A and B are shown apart, each in its own frame.
Chain A
Amino acid sequence: MTHSYAPSRRPPSWFEKFLRVNWGLVLLIAVIASIGCAMQYSMAGGHFYPWAAPQMERFCIGLLILMAVSLVDIRVWMTLAYPAYAISFLLLIAVEMVGHVGLGAQRWIEIGPIQIQPSELMKISLVLALARYLHGLGVEDISKPHRLLVALVMIVAPAALVLKEPNLGTATILLADGVSLLFLAGLSWWWILPSFAGLVATVPVAWHFLHDYQKRRVLTFLNPQSDALGAGWNIGQAEIAIGSGGMDGKGFVQGTQSRLNFLPEKNTDFAFSALGEEFGFMGSVALLVLFAIVMFLGMRIAMASRSQFGRLVAIGVTLNFFFYIMINAAMVMGLIPVVGIPMPLISYGGTAMLTVMFGFGLLMSVHVHRQVEIPRKPGAIL
């Protein structure tokens, strides 16, 4: 074990940290975000307004957040993990009571001029808090029922609140984030396999707890022709958009589906189908490859970290990013029912952009502080 970054050594200056940032990853993120802005430009019919310009602005702010977050010591984030989780949780309860009703769901809360989507905050907070909790546990501890129970409550409680908003997509992502962290932290297969079997068995029960519109989405998904002009419309038009792109697409700003509003929510949830329409198979696959590289880099950073907290945070935000992509792409391609999940860095929207960039900031912080070793026992983090 090399002690190149022993506690006795002088901590690195801000500038040294700045140099350690993984600039390749930052560049990659910038490239993807630029593609997103280009799509927003295209979908406005070749105009910077109303979408492309604000999107760029938000990306720049996101980039600043990324840099700031990455330079903050990973142990500070570990210290903040539980308070952040607590605040996010309280906000989720608050949104339940005073939440602003938007698009039929209580998802926003307004504090002064800022609209906050607590479920987005929770995605980051959950990763941080779980990582911290699991950091203190050895492989054999995780599978102990009382430890596992605490972790599960940490995951399920916010997920349940988000589901009640209702926001099926985000609740799914929270569950997936949490469960995959448990898995990566070393949860025993004896827990995993039976739970999975049990989960499959409860699907019919869960059906009854779904909202009507959620049920309709599922049914429509199973048989899109049943309601070609109603709920099946979204899926049908998104598929037409992507499919009509062909090999090399209709060309930039030439997508008829998106420009003529056949594509629902073309600039938000269905932005990827617009990209598929205008840039075709080559363009869509290229974007997926860029995403794959991001995730590859994320996993490499995770594995290179010398603290379990760092590893879990890094893999947590990477997988969170992945779940966004997977759910959104599968949705617009008609593989899963429609849920309101944006394509990260591509879809228009402020909160998602900032959440993702904050996540990348944490990932980068893990990278910058990859040599920092943190004791397992609490009390002496810093």
Chain B
Amino acid sequence: MPLFDGKDKSRYATFTRRTLMTGGAVGAVLGALGVRLYQLQILEGEQFRARAEQNSVSARLVAPLRGRIFDRFGVELANNRRNYRVLIIPEQALEGVEAALDTVGRIILLTDRDRARILRDVAQNKKFVPSTVAENLTWEEFARVNMHLPYLSGIQPDAGETRDYPFGDELSHVLGYVAAVSPKDEERDNDPVLELPGFRIGKRGIEKAYDAKVRGSAGVSRVEVNAYGRVIRELSRDPGSPGADVWLTIDRELQKFVVQRVGAESVACAVMDVQNGDVLALASTPGYDPNLFNVGINATQWRGLLTDDHQPLIDKSLAGLYPPGSTFKPAVALSALDAGAITPDFAVNCSGSLALGNYVFHCWKKRGHGHVDLHRGIAQSCDVYFYNVARRLGIDGIEAGAHKLGLGHFTNIEIPGERAGVIPGRAWKEATYGAPWLEGETLNAGIGQGYVLVTPLQLCTMAARVASGNEVNPRIVRVVGKEVEPRPALKRLAFADDALAAVRSGMNAVTNDPSGTAFRFRIPNPGLEMAGKTGTAQVRKISSAEHLKGVTKNENLPWKLRDHALFISYAPVSVPRYACSIVLEHGAIGHPHVEMVRDILIFAQQRDPLKLTPAYPVNAASLGGASPTRAA
């Protein structure tokens, strides 16, 4: 049998023909691929190059480190601690945000509420903006997340910094707190750093007032990222600038003592350097823990703060308005002496009340004080004496004098939220009530009642001005960053020296004369003696019928209706350095508030923070900070 025949020949011919056709087809396909390459790489190359660049380089904001807040000796009142957190970037969660949360929820605890919040954040943000999944994780939790990272698409661990207030509620109203940025904040402020996940800004106190400086400015890090958003390397970094540190005039030790001494009472207390207005302690108790607002306060805690009748959310020292009561009397006396309305020898006979037209004005002492001159009038706080002084001086004189002592207007302390209070006058009454001033109202104003409303900080300022004779204003910020806050030169108070001396002598008698209203609570330590003035502010109206029957004692009233107890003082009497004011809300039973001030002023003088070298520089040249050392 022949191996090959015609059949082979014909099929070989067919094969060759068809192979050549196939070869042509192969060539055409390869040509088409080449054309496609030309289209992609030459015609659209630039476009794709740009997209590749976008793909791999991403600019990220670097959160600036928030400036710290120090007390005068360099104790950190607000600082930053490591915050291990986990973020989610929705656009990188390839299986969806829900799935990513399911997975990460197996590694760290996520409650349903957490999930709801995360999903809300994600919905509000752009797809490439990270949202916080969890923060303040322990190192172990954080390490676990990092370990499982290969399975967690869209999840990004992040070691950031968060605000910490090591002393909790001790300084809540001075420092304020930081909290998450609200949509309103973002409208007001177009700093891009606000878009960083979990960024916090100052909402109250110093944190709010100095937020722009303490916040710092965001840096930009240009990083090369891979498809999962993982950073491969950093191409360039503008670190931005950390926020400025703020040095306060506060002495944390004194602040702590004040807060502990007043205990659970509802109290506003200020301690000030009479020479320059440096606020050494400023307390409004009870306070709140500012860390709660940073970490995220829960509903129960928030409701607790809101409904507490001691009002922990209100800064009573600046925003609490109280009738000064008898603590106003030194101001009236000083104004009258200065205006020449009275001399220190001016005397009246107190029978326990004073009649004016149809009205009867009562003295706190029903039986009367008898013969009262200025010294006794202040020492024993005779109301009838001051009714007479006020009548002689007139409301215009009271108004002008009170303003000179810093009452009834903003002290302009650096903490926001301050209220001005009221020193009434003819124009004020006309503007507020559309009615003319009545003489009886002058008498009420003369004993710090009626329309008069002041803040505890104003009272402290007044005490400092009386003590020093200088027009001091309270200041709580000394240094911001490297800049020493400017201090205007102190003016002498526009009161005659002998008038000041007469009032000081009366205030000295309040505590150091056996007839004084606060003699029992004097400072016995030689050289540390304090001068002061007590006061009681009525919370309720006392009718004339009640006056006849006998005024109900505070002990028999519910807490909310009891009088406020006030006290202003300065020490030492000989060379005053420390001024202190206190308002003990609804506390006018005995004199616990005077006892508090006594202890505070003893502590302050024995510690003597004004004689210690402050850690912050006194002038800009020596900036750098020394550790607190006791001056010889």
Contact = CB atoms under 8 A, between A and B. Distances in A.
Nearest to B2: A375
Contacts of A263: 227
A125 to B, nearest CB: 21
Given A284-B41, A315-B19, A335-B36, A261 B7 contact: no
A295 interface: yes
A276 interface: yes
Contacts of A185: 11, 14-15
A242 interface: yes
Question: Chain A contact residues (Cβ within 8 angstroms of B): what range?
Answer: 35 or more
B33 interface: yes
Interface stretch (A54-62, A82-90, A107-115, A244-252): A244-252
Contacts of B40: 239, 242-243, 276, 333
Contacts of B11: 138-139, 185-186, 308
A296 interface: yes
A302 to B, nearest CB: 6
Contacts of A277: 52
Given A240-B55, A335-B36, A260 B226 contact: yes
Nearest to A184: B18
Given A281-B37, A284-B37, A260 B45 contact: no
A299 B26 CA distance: 11
- Interface-central residue, A244, A261, A281, A326, by most chain B CB under 10 Å: A244
A229 interface: yes
Nearest to B56: A256
Given A139-B7, A260-B226, A308 B55 contact: no
B226 A262 contact: yes
B36 A138 contact: no
A229 B48 contact: no
A241 interface: yes
A243 B51 CA distance: 9
Contacts of A299: 19, 22-23
Contacts of B51: 240, 243-244
A242 B55 contact: no
A333 B38 contact: no
Interface in B41-60: 41-42, 44-49, 51-53, 55-56
B37 A246 contact: no
B470 to A, nearest CB: 67
Contacts of A375: 1, 3-4
Interface string A90-110: 000000000000000000000
B1 A377 contact: yes
Contacts of A270: none
B45 A244 contact: yes
A243 B36 contact: no
A230 interface: yes
B44 A243 contact: yes
Interface stretch (A17-25, A163-171, A201-209, A285-293): A285-293
A247 B43 CA distance: 10
A322 interface: yes
Given A288-B33, A322-B26, A245 B19 contact: no
Contacts of B33: 288, 326, 329-330, 333, 335
A5 interface: no
Given A184-B18, A243-B41, A260 B7 contact: no
Contacts, number: 158
B1 A276 contact: no
A138 B37 contact: no
A96 to B, nearest CB: 29
A183 interface: yes
B231 to A, nearest CB: 10
A156 interface: no
Contacts of B557: none
Nearest to A264: B227
B27 A292 contact: yes
Contact of B49 (A244, A284, A312): A244
A319 interface: yes
Contacts of B232: 259-260
B410 interface: no
Contacts of A285: 34, 37
A183 to B, nearest CB: 6
Nearest to A295: B26
Given A186-B18, A261-B226, A373 B3 contact: yes
B159 interface: no
B515 interface: no
Given A243-B40, A243-B45, A260-B55, A308 B226 contact: no
Interface in B1-39: 1, 3-4, 7-8, 10-12, 14-16, 18-19, 22-23, 26-27, 29-30, 33-34, 36-38
- Interface-central residue, B27, B42, B47, B228, by most chain A CB under 10 Å: B42
A242 B26 CA distance: 22
Interface string A334-368: 01000000000000000000000000000000000
Contacts of A280: 41
A75 interface: no
A180 interface: yes
Contacts of A261: 226-228
Contacts of A329: 33
A85 B329 CA distance: 115
A245 B43 CA distance: 12
A61 B64 CA distance: 58
A218 interface: no
Nearest to A260: B226
Contacts of B15: 184-186, 302-303, 308, 311-312, 315
A42 interface: no
A373 to B, nearest CB: 6
B50 to A, nearest CB: 8
A256 to B, nearest CB: 4
B225 interface: yes
B37 A303 contact: no
A117 interface: no
Given A185-B15, A262-B55, A288-B34, A242 B23 contact: no
30 contacts: A140-B7, A184-B19, A185-B11, A242-B48, A243-B47, A244-B49, A245-B41, A246-B49, A256-B56, A257-B52, A260-B56, A261-B228, A262-B55, A262-B56, A276-B37, A276-B40, A281-B37, A288-B33, A288-B34, A291-B30, A295-B23, A295-B26, A299-B22, A302-B15, A303-B16, A308-B8, A319-B22, A319-B26, A326-B33, A376-B7
Give the top 4 A-B pairs by smallest Cβ distance, nearest first.
A243-B48, A244-B52, A246-B45, A138-B7
Given A185-B15, A308-B15, A333-B37, 14 more contacts: A139-B11, A186-B11, A246-B42, A257-B52, A262-B226, A264-B227, A276-B37, A295-B23, A302-B19, A303-B16, A312-B15, A315-B19, A375-B1, A376-B7
